[in-house]
């Protein structure tokens, strides 16, 4: 939290502050959530990893879709935010205010998680039919758009079919959302594979700027919003090793937690390994040292 300034909104990970009428300051905390519950134990440097990686991806995706970032240079922030560089450096972004669409836009290139659960029941995901015989981790014939509702903090997003999205936002915007989400996934998967990482799935946040242009907001292609798998260890038919918070989810499941708040404290070794996974994802994808990012922010 920024001293003396009330956030406009506090989410699972980010705190949002109003900056005038047309901008927002997004500050990524070290909080981590699982199963829609914010855990009591933070992951050191997690907010900086999410911010640094998002900034890198926004640049890589610039030809696919516009993004909302104005600057991440704290010295360029207006008062009173520029008075707190020690709190904001490396983990914040000054952004254009967007009118967000009412849909969580998800793309999948591999079958796992809730998609696998849906497939086992219906041989489809969000109404998209899939071939028979797929298993946990199977690569899909092509990336698919699997949107969900946007649930409040503490509640679970529910799957939507494409027709439901079209009924909610209109056919033209639904088509643009699907096309943009798949393009973001495709570009992300291409670059991740070059780094030895498989992008299993990802969630993107899209909204409209003041001119009405569809714009990428929030974070993008981070370990919080995506599943990253080491390509060298990929083997369909089982849960995959990952660079994301699946490690935390697995520990919570093994702990016997019933997924109802409050969540248990994470042990020190789980915190350390989770931080290492986040930092590892940053360094592999960007090809740069995370420590260098912190020094240069």
Along the chain (297 residues), what's the average pLDDT of each consecutive run of 10 residues? Answer: 90 94 97 93 97 98 98 96 95 98 97 96 97 98 96 76 97 98 98 98 97 97 95 97 89 95 96 96 98 95
Q: What CATH code would you report for 100-248?
A: 3.30.470.20
pLDDT at 1: 76
Dist. CA 89–CA 51, nearest whole Å: 10
| Assigned token pair, 283 | 């360094």
Dist. CA 219–CA 213, nearest whole Å: 18
Domain ranges of the chain: 100-248
The torsion defined by the Cα of 89, 282, 271 and 223, in degrees rounded to 10, comes to 100
Q: Taking the mean position of all CA atoms in its chain, how far away is CA 87?
A: 22
269 CB-contact burial (10 Å; exposed 0-12 / middle 13-18 / buried 19+):
exposed
**Residue 86: Cβ within 10 Å count:** 7
What's the pTM? 0.94
């Amino acid at each position: 939290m920024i001293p003396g300034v009330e956030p406009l909104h506090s989410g699972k990970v980010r705190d949002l502050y109003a900056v005038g009428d047309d901008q927002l300051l997004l500050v990524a905390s070290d909080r981590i959530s699982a199963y829609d519950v914010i855990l009591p134990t933070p992951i050191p440097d997690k907010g900086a990893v999410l911010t640094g990686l998002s900034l890198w991806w926004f640049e890589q995706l610039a030809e696919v879709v516009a993004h909302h970032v104005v600057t991440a240079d704290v010295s360029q922030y207006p008062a009173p935010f520029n008075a707190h560089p020690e709190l904001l450096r490396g983990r914040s972004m000054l952004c254009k205010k967007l009118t967000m669409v009412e849909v969580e836009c998800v793309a999948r290139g591999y079958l796992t998680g809730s998609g696998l659960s849906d497939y086992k029941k219906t041989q489809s995901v969000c109404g998209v039919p899939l071939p028979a015989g797929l298993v946990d981790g199977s690569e899909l014939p092509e990336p698919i758009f699997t949107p969900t509702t946007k649930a409040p903090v503490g509640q679970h997003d529910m799957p939507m079919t494409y027709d439901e999205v079209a009924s909610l936002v209109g056919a033209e915007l639904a088509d643009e959302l699907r096309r943009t989400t798949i393009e973001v996934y495709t570009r992300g998967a291409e670059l991740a594979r070059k780094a030895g990482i498989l992008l299993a799935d990802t969630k993107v946040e899209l909204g409209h700027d003041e001119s009405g242009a569809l714009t990428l907001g929030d974070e993008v292609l981070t370990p919080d919003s995506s599943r990253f798998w080491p390509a060298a260890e990929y083997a369909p038919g089982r849960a995959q090793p990952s660079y994301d918070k699946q490690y935390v989810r697995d520990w919570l499941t093994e702990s016997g937690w019933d997924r109802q708040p409050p969540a248990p404290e994470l042990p020190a070794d789980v915190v350390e390994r989770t931080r290492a996974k986040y930092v590892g994802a940053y360094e592999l994808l960007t090809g740069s040292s995370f420590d260098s990012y912190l020094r240069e922010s």
